[in-house]
Amino acid sequence: MIGWLKGRVLLVAEDHLILDVGGVGYRVFCTARTLARHGSDTEASFFVETQVREDHIHLFGFVDRAEQDWFRLLLTVQGVGARVALSILSVLTPAALADAISGADKAALTQASGVGARLAQRIISELREKTGAMDMGMPSGAAGRDGGASGLQADAVSALVNLGYRRAEAQAAVRRAGEQASLDALITAALKELAR
């Protein structure tokens, strides 16, 4: 199976691009955001999800592992196929998707083509408990090299989880709280977000 590709973009179409890798052109289906980011005759690399069916082999490309992991998780929901999963990730970043699921925001999910209110509710119901283990675009380790805001965010999420909040809720609240001068200020702002 193909897991990663790097090459030159030959063509960008409505729902895919053609990636030249050593003289072989691969059709890679991507989110709308990814397609908008890449122009013809530019270098690009993608993590690839390969789907093999009786009548086709499709490659789905992702700029980072978080997006790929969310794609896989969305496919576990009944009624969500690859096209719908890409559509959801085209309108919601992994972080925004996590927020929508943890906040039961059906309206955010129904922005995606192919997602109605019933499917949005199913996505929320089936994935709410699974989002805690997902990469939301938040740093998972301790502070960064310079000990900056990323370390504060990770510490704040950890503190909120220790207070009994689910990781997905804590991460969403810390993101909404924005940058703060200290860990105490960030936790306080996140707690206010959780109280809303």
- The angle subtended at Cα 144 by Cα 138 and Cα 150, nearest 5°, is 35
How high is the mean pLDDT of the chain?
Answer: 85
In which element (H, E) is residue 186 found? helix 183-195
DSSP H helical segments within 23-182, as ranges? 32-37, 65-74, 82-91, 94-102, 106-109, 117-127, 149-162, 167-177
Kindly report, residue by residue over 20-29, the tens digit of the pLDDT.
999 999 999 9
Q: How many percent of the chain have pLDDT more than 90?
A: 48
Instruction: Specify the length of the chain in residues.
Output: 196
Which of the four pLDDT bands, split at 50, 70 and 90, describes residue 143? Answer: very low
Cβ atoms of 69 and 135 within 8 Å: the answer is yes
CA distance 132 to 173: 13
| Domains by residue range for the chain, with CATH | 4-62 (2.40.50.140), 65-133 (1.10.150.20), 149-195 (1.10.8)
pLDDT band at 141 (very low <50, low <70, confident <90, very high): very low
Query: Residue 129: is its pLDDT beyond 90?
Result: no
Nearest-angstrom CA–CA distance, 66 and 134: 8
Summarised one tens digit per residue, pLDDT across range 28-87 is 999 998 999 888 889 999 999 999 988 889 999 998 888 999 999 999 999 999 999 999
